[in-house]
Structure 1
Amino acid sequence: MNIIDLFSGAGGLTEGFRSSFNIINHVEMDTAASKTLQLRDAFYFLNQQNQLEFYLQYLQKNISFEELLAYVPINIQEKTLNEKISAETISSIFDSINQKISRQNITTIDGIIGGPPCQAYSTVGRARNSGKKDNDERIYLYRYYIEFLQKYQPHFFVFENVKGLLSFKDQFNEPLLPKMIQEFENAGYRLHYQLIDSSMYGVPQKRERLIIFGTDGTIAPELFFKQLETKKENSITIGQLFQDLPFLHSGETVNSYGQTIPNAFVNRHIRSNSDIPLTQNVARPNQPNDLLIYRQAAIDKSQGHNFRYDELDPSQQTHKNRREFLDRYKVLDKDSVSHTVVAHISKDGHYYIHPDVTQNRSITVREAARIQTFPDDFYFETSRTHAFTQIGNAVPPYLAKKIASTIIDLYN
């Protein structure tokens, strides 16, 4: 099946579709995320050619990104289109995709996947952003998605976004989702939507996201969610997810595995490629006062208590707002799944404190990626901040794989 991937981010949704679908194009406006996508395409090509040594050389900084791409065909390099989808660019984006379709002699586009940036619909900061709705173009990016549906007329689409879309109201103070649904239906698609919790599908993270599945009538869209239900499974805990990772302190980088044998889920889905060493296991440096708070919060968590900011000694309370966000320092529960990883992790790690009090730090890029079920051989460009942002915005690949296999089940 041939698909187009819109608003791709780092490619979490794409990662789950790769094994069963031909991805014609990723379209992503962020430069760092686009480089991540391009690198991942290169990884899959080199792996197929038994030439992963070049990927390894890049990770070890022995060759540059450009030197790595010299081993990759131009059609693989050009799968990623680093472009913002807008009224000014959509025509040229169509032209670029059409060229790839023509070169591959493709006659049918089977699906479109992706979800526009979710910040506009998020419940976080909603009151603060309410006055900006008249000028917030992100609210209506879904209409470009519909233009792609009208242009390529795929059999199905998968549209992913935040839970907040269910309650979001537009600038007319009217619910947006019913209007969106009507516009999708006007474009010729039947659809069904459901709130999906990733932790019910084997992802070690409680992450609720709205999934809209639409079809051109080839199958009934509600069947998608009935079939997806059959793929539910229990998740491993954070303790199990991290058990094979090395010990490190705040500000340290340790890119070698620990001595503990990995959990079976990790061995099968996270560490499946033994030829690639651990990367990006870097913990950000933390301020001394934050480390004191981290330590206390981790001790409290180990004793069954969730730490509150107003419990601190007043001399340690540096934030002006001492009445709200009292859980701004939060420790991961080693005996359960993680709370939702969001893009704010790129700003600080206070909400993602490692459960081991002796390590006394926030989680690393690699640990955050594992919570999202990215495999360890997945590398995020171009900095620690960019990596955290891409991870926080992504669809968990393990959930995406189940979405992809559900589609294959239905169409088979």
Structure 2
Amino acid sequence: MNIIDLFSGGGGLAEGFKQQGYNILCHVEMDKDACDTLKTREAYYHLKDKGNLDTYKLYLNGDLTKEEFYCNIPEYFLSKVLNYQISQNELPNIMKNMGKIIDGSKIDGIIGGPPCQAYSTIGRSRNEKIKEKDERVYLYKYYSLFLEEYDPTFFIFENVKGLLSYKDIHNEKLLPKILKEFQSKGYNVYYKLINSVDYGIPQKRERLFIFGMKNDSNIDAQTFFEKLLVYQESSINLGELFYDLPSMEAGQEINKYSQNIPVQFVTDNLRRHEGMLSQNISRPHNERDKIIYKLVVKAKNDGENLKYNELPSNLKTHKNEKHFLDRFKSLRENDQSHTLVAHISKDGHYYIHPDLKQNRSITVREAARIQTFPDDYYFENSRTAAFKQIGNAVPVYLSNKIAKAIKDILLDREE
């Protein structure tokens, strides 16, 4: 089935669909770093299909520059990634270039989720002041235009939980208006809040999913969520998730697995090609942060979250001891992660590694594993850019199940 991937980010949603055999014809993404990641992933799949992953391995190992690596890839695969901000000004260019790529092919589905900061409950009071001019609030209308243009059989629209309560400039809830917009394009729609941890992802992450089916498909959109329930499963914990990764210190990069035998989930879904561990790089930390990290991990092991105002006075750098007191947060080995967000690109204080001996925040690869990206997935162009892409992504293992559930309902119709 042919898919258009809008607001692609680093490709978490698209990756799950690719794993299920869908054909992603085109990605549209405004962030240059994320576009480079998408191109590299397209290159990976091309080389995998050709049985030539040795070239990809050379790139991961730093033996080829990006330019040299891309020279091995036909332009068609790289040109599937369109680096545009979806906006009124750019829409003609997007449609023109997309038309060349699609070249009359039937579009079966559209997937994607617009940037969510406008709807997020975090910083909502700050965003309230710019709501009237904030174009991000109404990006769903552009999504709707693509539905109108390409008339896919189904679509998946993903966003933050805050959309459930978000009110527009008229002080009216926006979600019913979004649903009405999609219905006006000939779709029956249904939405549901999904927690990733219920689907085998080692992370507690609630996100809103809107699913739509063409009215003439004779499939109720609610059926999709009923099918998805079949794929619920318990998740491994972080101790198991990280078990085969090397022990390391702050500031180190070690792209070599430990001698520990990975658990089955890691073998089946994350560690699919030996010798393809990359970006297992941790941030350097100053001595003050390292001392704080140890205190936070010890408290977490005792079942407590150490608040900023509870730190020894010589470790405090802020006078504000009334707000944002959970500035430091440790993960737990015997539990799943709290929600991974893009702020991890700023610092690692909220994602401290649970192993006291390592005394650091998590690496890029550990963050990617929490989001269930395979170890062979490479994020361009810097550590900061990688963390941002990972934090914004849909967990790949969840996307895989979404793609599977869609196939299920379409196959049921054919029978």
TM-score range, shorter chain: over 0.9
Q: Secondary structure at the match of 1:135?
A: coil
Pair 1:351-2:367 in alignment: no
| Cα deviation, residue 240, structure 1 | 0.3
Measure, in 2, the Cα distance between the counterparts of 1:208 and 1:70.
40
The amino acid across from 1:131 in the alignment is: K
Partner secondary structure for residue 132 of structure 1: coil
Q: Which residue is equivalent to 2:179?
A: 181
Map 1:6-405 → 2, pairs under 5 A: 6-19=6-19, 20-102=21-103, 106=105, 108-217=106-215, 218=217, 219-274=219-274, 276-405=275-404
Secondary structure of 2:158's aligned partner: strand
Distance in 1, Cα, partners of 2:398 & 2:284: 32
TM-score (norm 1): 0.97
Specify the code of the residue in structure 2 equivalent to 1:22.
Answer: N
Please give the alpha-carbon distance, in whole angstroms, between the structure 1 residues aligned to 2:213 and 2:109.
Answer: 9
In structure 2, distance between residues paired with 1:267 and 1:293: 34
How many residues align? The count is 408
Give the SS at the match of 2:130.
Answer: helix
Amino acid in structure 2 at the alignment position of 1:75: Y
Distance in 2 of aligned mates of 1:296 and 1:112: 47
Where 2:132 maps in the other structure, the secondary structure is helix
Instruction: Give 2:4's aligned amino acid.
Output: I
* Separation in 2, partners of 1:33, 1:101: 21
Q: CA deviation at 1:12?
A: 0.1
Once residues 249 and 222 of structure 1 are traced to their aligned partners in structure 2, the CA distance between those partners, rounded to angstroms, is: 48
Identity %: 54
Deviations, residues 114-168 of structure 1 (Å, cap 9, x unaligned): 0000011011111122111011111011110000000001110000000000011
- How far apart are residue 309 of structure 1 and its match? 1.4
Which residue type is aligned with residue 18 of structure 1? K
d(CA) in 2 for partners of 1:316 and 1:63?
44
Give the Cα–Cα distance (whole angstroms) in 1 for the partners of residues 37 and 245 of structure 2. Answer: 23
Q: CA RMSD in A?
A: 1.0
Instruction: Provide Cα deviations, 1:321-359, integer angstroms capped at 9, x if missing partner.
Output: 211222211110110110000000000001000001111
TM-score by structure 2 length? 0.97
Cα distance in 1 for partners of 2:301, 2:259 equals: 23
Displacement of 1:304 after TM fit? 2.2
Partners of 1:120 and 1:57 in 2: CA distance: 40
Structure 2 gaps of 5+ residues are none
Deviations 1:262-317 (A, max 9, x none): 1110011010122x431111110112111111001111112222212121112212
Task: Describe the superposition over 1:31-63 as per-residue Cα deviations: whole angstroms up to 9, x where unpaired.
Answer: 000000000000011011011111111112222
Supply the distance in 2 between the matched residues of 1:176 and 1:132 (Cα, whole angstroms).
16
Q: Which amino acid aligns with 1:225?
A: F
What is the rounded CA distance, in whole Å, between the counterparts of 1:188 and 1:266 in structure 2?
A: 41
Q: Secondary structure at the match of 2:24?
A: strand
Q: Distance in 1 between matches of 2:126 and 2:318?
A: 19
- What residue ranges of structure 1 are gaps of 5+ in the alignment? none
Distance (whole Å) between structure 2 residues aligned to residue 286 and residue 212 of structure 1: 40
| SS in structure 2 at match of 1:226 | helix
The residue type equivalent to 2:38 in the other structure is L
Q: Distance in 2 between matches of 1:318 and 1:170?
A: 38
Distance 2:183 2:50 in 1: 43
**Of 199-208 and 60-69, the range deviating more from structure 2:** 60-69
Residues 222-262 of structure 1, C-alpha deviations (whole Å, 9 max, x = no match): 00000000100000000000011111111111111111111
